Structure 1
């Protein structure tokens, strides 16, 4: 809601600033000459005013983009304050025994995230990428996180596996990593849940 109102302000301001710049340029172009014996302005003078106007518009666009970036950071801080924030990440290691299709997260028996991975995203995870599946707010206390992984396991069979962790949420942000790795001894994928402070 805050982001929408800030976006409306930004969208409203940009045309007004552009219109103000055009009005200034038009006033300069239509102003009467005080000395009629002076030579007519050259074509480059008009070009220079449009060039400076273009530079002003570009500077305004840059300021609007910077403002938008700052507003996004402020919105993140307001919506997910550090003392109640919880974030869940997915990572993969090797991937010989499991090809990830999707992850479903349940927090205190309520589904909070369901993500379907594309082939490129799964390859990025295999190359060391980390994906933030969920960010939200939790009150202090004990909570249960259930992660359900769906994909293809050994011998190209459909594979569905779950992992559960009890979280103790205190003051400060809580970070949880869901790591998928290969267990070569059993020729099976292994799902590890880690808490980061």
Structure 2
């Protein structure tokens, strides 16, 4: 038996080269698969986030429907006009002589109201019948004087939901603010 030692190193080198190429190609495939897996996982996470946000919104709506059914629901909104004659600091809200909300405003919230924003000030359950809403507005009036004004509204609650709006408007004729409460 004769061994061919001359061909063995060539074959061994060739085999080593093939093995290293195979290892390098596997690493490249693993890196490519890893990048694809990361992209897939990222896309799946984004999709899950969107689903969680949608589910959270649906749960919020369901919770409001359960806690405040339309047959007993009363919602109070607040809106403001330009604000030349009145700078709002806070609002106190009473329903049937019971204080239900006292809200203190920040500058950003006031600016949002001046730009046409409407705030859901209060939501409550009320039985059917006559009810009285009273709102106290506290802030700075003309000539930077302390201002505390009130407005009230008597409304009838039926089996339907009731929406009420409190509004603060400037009266250029009177050069002072006008406070209104209306049923929508």
Scaled by the length of structure 1, the TM-score of the pair is: 0.73
Could you say which residue in structure 1 is the equivalent of 2:110? 122
Work out the CA distance in 2 between the residues paired with 1:163 and 1:137: 21
Could you say which residue in structure 1 is the equivalent of 2:154? 166
Work out the CA distance in 2 between the residues paired with 1:52 and 1:124: 40
Work out the CA distance in 1 between the residues paired with 2:147 and 2:72: 34
Could you say which residue in structure 1 is the equivalent of 2:79? 91
> Measured at CA, do residues 98 and 77 of structure 1 come closer, stay the same or move farther in structure 2, by a change above 3 Å?
same
> Measured at CA, do residues 116 and 58 of structure 1 come closer, stay the same or move farther in structure 2, by a change above 3 Å?
same
Q: 1:84: how far off?
A: 1.1
> Measured at CA, do residues 99 and 46 of structure 1 come closer, stay the same or move farther in structure 2, by a change above 3 Å?
closer
Could you say which residue in structure 1 is the equivalent of 2:171? 183
Q: 1:174: how far off?
A: 0.6
Work out the CA distance in 1 between the residues paired with 2:38 and 2:171: 66
SS at match of 1:75: helix
Work out the CA distance in 2 between the residues paired with 1:183 and 1:50: 61
Matches within 5 A, 1:20-59: 41=26, 42-43=29-30, 44-59=32-47
Scaled by the length of structure 2, the TM-score of the pair is: 0.78
SS at match of 2:59: helix
Backbone CA RMSD of aligned residues: 1.8
**CA radius of gyration, larger in:** 2
Aligned pairs, number? 158
Work out the CA distance in 1 between the residues paired with 2:64 and 2:35: 44
